[in-house]
Amino acid sequence: MRRLLSRSALTALAAAIALTSAAPAMAVAQDITYAPGMGTNEAEPEGTPFALPDGLTVEAPIRGYNTADPEDCDYKYQDQAVGKGEQVRLCMVFNNNTNLPVPLELPPGLIFVSRSRKVQNGIIAQRISIMVPPQERYFQPIFTYCTNSGRDSAALASEFDIGNVTDIPAFHALFKMLEGKLIDDSNFVVVNQAVKAISNGEELDADLLAEIEALPSLL
């Protein structure tokens, strides 16, 4: 059964989005403000530091992912990717130095920071779970949403680092709405539009809120 949001929940989301402007930001033309790492703001994205579980490391830099020919990602094809998004697709390479599988949880709001300010940063909108096998160099394609629409999409040679988990209230309100939602290749554009709007310091309009609410629920 589809989960409907009450009027009060939608009002709370709108209020949270309005708080975005309270985050440290850089003023640009037309009175638009961008939080650090968002839009045209080239500062490092702010938020809560993220740490990998004990025994697990990730090779740096994280590089872009080639959907058509994933040779550099151990031939892991698109159907083996986790996450959604089109502009910032990455290949993470993990090393599990323990004798047991290590469960990894990547939280919504985790940002992948481009080493080039000409290339977009990426953000996760729903929790991602990965089981990393023991004693193995493990390749995992990860798809994320862009937070800098004016920059270039990630390419195979693009380089990224794991950044912070954003503390922007509007993003966390969006992530709350997306809990329990089924996001696939047919509807991720709705989430992409919401991420773009929040990254640009904009409010989500009523039509977009309705589209998010109408996303199907997980069974």
- What are the backbone dihedrals phi and psi of residue 192, each rounded to the nearest 5 degrees, phi first? -60, -40
Q: What is the mean pLDDT of residues 109-130?
A: 98
Other beta carbons within 10 angstroms of residue 131's beta carbon come to: 10
Q: What is the mean pLDDT of residues 11-15?
A: 53
Percent of the chain at pLDDT above 70? Answer: 86
Residue 28 binned pLDDT confidence (cut-offs 50, 70, 90)? very low
For residue 9, is pLDDT > 70? no
How confident is the model at residue 32, as a pLDDT?
72
Q: What is the mean pLDDT of residues 196-213?
A: 97
**CB contact set of 145 (below 8 Å; sequence gap of 6+):** 84, 85, 87, 88, 122, 123, 124, 125, 191, 192, 195, 196
Q: What is the mean pLDDT of residues 26-42?
A: 76
For residue 19, is pLDDT > 60? no
SS (HEC) of 63-93? EECCCCCHHHHCCCCHHHCEECCCCEEEEEE
Residue of 19 and 181 predicted with greater confidence? 181
Q: For residues 207 and 86, give the distance between their C-alpha atoms in angstroms, rounded to a whole number.
A: 22
For residue 33, is pLDDT > 60? yes
Torsion 56-60-64-66 (CA) sign: negative
Are the beta carbons of 146 and 87 closer than 8 angstroms? yes
How confident is the model at residue 26, as a pLDDT?
37
- List the single range of 19-33, 89-103, 165-179 with lowest mean pLDDT: 19-33
Task: Share the mean pLDDT of the chain.
Answer: 90
Are the beta carbons of 214 and 4 closer than 8 angstroms? no
- What digits encode the pLDDT tens for the residues 54-90? 999 999 999 999 999 999 999 999 999 999 999 999 9
Are the beta carbons of 27 and 33 closer than 8 angstroms? yes
The one-letter amino acid at 8: S
How confident is the model at residue 3, as a pLDDT?
44
Q: What is the mean pLDDT of residues 134-155?
A: 97
